[in-house]
Amino acid sequence: MSAEPLDLDVTFEELTSSLTTPHDPAAGRPDPSDPVFALHAGGKLEVVPRSPLRDRRDLSLAYTPGVADVSRAIAANPGLLDVYTGRGNTVAVVSDGTAVLGLGDIGPGAAMPVMEGKALLFKHFAGVDAVPICLATTDVDTIVETVALMAPTFGGINLEDISAPRCFEIERRLQERLAMPVFHDDQHGTAVVVLAALMNAAKVVGRELTGLRTVISGAGAAGVAIAAILRRAGVEDVVVCDSRGIVETSRDDLSEVKSELAARTNPRGVTGGIAEALRDADVFVGVSGGTVPEEVVATMAPGGVVFALANPDPEVHPDVAGRYAAVVGTGRSDFPNQINNVLAFPGIFRGALDCRATRVTEGMKLAAAEAIAGCVDAPTAGEVVPSVFDERVVTAVAQAVMAAARADGVARA
């Protein structure tokens, strides 16, 4: 099913003249003096040339006739594309606007400020040029074909804010079709940072990671990926819940993705809902929204871990979680232990681009998690992940990702 086409037949003057007070962003009436809207006015990105254009000589080198020699060389040797163009340092940030932050299905136009923000983070933290691509379609075949056709322009594809279960198929098909990193950040970026945080949280509570009885609330993109990476890291007891209860093999209402998830998780065969899942659990990871009642949190094993990552309202408020858990994390910046994807994706793409990886492997994701965890010199209850502004993180992740890519045989440089 395709989304409605965007109405672009409106001038900037017509648009801004319709913006009246009172300030009501949800009704399409922002206050231009509001700092948020003032910052976003005109967008957050621009294209800046890397080569000077001062005179006719510069023009002849950057464009015709000089550029013809570069094009001939690339035509004869396609491997030169990443050497003599910006492709090797450029990522497409692709969304259809169906699962944007905590806003849900708001469409490709409304997703654009978020994708611009993602591109800003790529450039600021990792020096990667990123281009927001918001597609006016939700059809899987069309998205796959469109992104594949754009591939000569980009060195990697970052899929963003595409709803489950379509996101799984889109990523899988693009990975099969393209010899470049294709990474759905809502899945794997989240999973990498959760694993990093849990590695250090296990040290804080004096437990082995593999023995932690873990419950994940949410069986969408992030929940499925978190379950997968925790199991690869050796966590043996993982139970996943969706809105209807524990994802387990006796249920007859599971999608193909959830059926596969049920077969790989819940080794004790627990049935019921979040209350049954959390009883005596050591770890809660929330990626679903909603609220877990305090009386249910109270049934967890003492001295455990609560990562309630829904934004802006965590599934368990940190004040409540702190009454029962030894380590508490959220997705918010105003509480300790912010579990944020920006700790992962800039370094993962920096490393993957620098070694010209043909894909992002499971080994590369595990290496990224270990590198993030390693940036916390002495984990404490208030610090199990580094700050998003810790300048060591991108370099550490990129180096670990490159080493893993070479070990996995997917690096070309």
Pairing of strands 245-246, 238-242: antiparallel
CA distances from 137 to 119, 145, 161 (A): 21, 12, 13
d(CA 295, CA 282): 16
Amino acid at 412: R
Q: What positions carry a catalytic annotation?
A: 63, 118
Half-sphere exposure at residue 86, Cβ-oriented, CA atoms within 13 angstroms: 13
Report CA dihedral (404, 349, 101, 256) to the nearest 10 degrees.
Answer: -50
Nearest residue to 89 via CA among 360, 350, 398: 350
Stretch (H or E) spanning 156: strand 156-159
Q: Which phi-psi region, left, alpha or beta, contains residue 338 (left: φ > 0; alpha: ψ -120 to 50)?
A: beta
User: CB–CB of 204/175 below 8 Å?
Assistant: no
User: CB–CB of 337/386 below 8 Å?
Assistant: no
User: CB–CB of 337/328 below 8 Å?
Assistant: yes
Stretch (H or E) spanning 347: helix 345-354
| DSSP 8-state code for residue 413 | -
CA distances from 225 to 43, 116, 125, 210, 261 (A): 32, 25, 24, 17, 10
User: CB–CB of 257/224 below 8 Å?
Assistant: yes
d(CA 219, CA 337): 23
Half-sphere exposure at residue 138, Cβ-oriented, CA atoms within 13 angstroms: 17
d(CA 261, CA 45): 39
User: Tokens 């086409």 identify what position?
Assistant: 5
Q: Is the peptide bond before 267 cis (omega within 30 degrees of 0)?
A: no
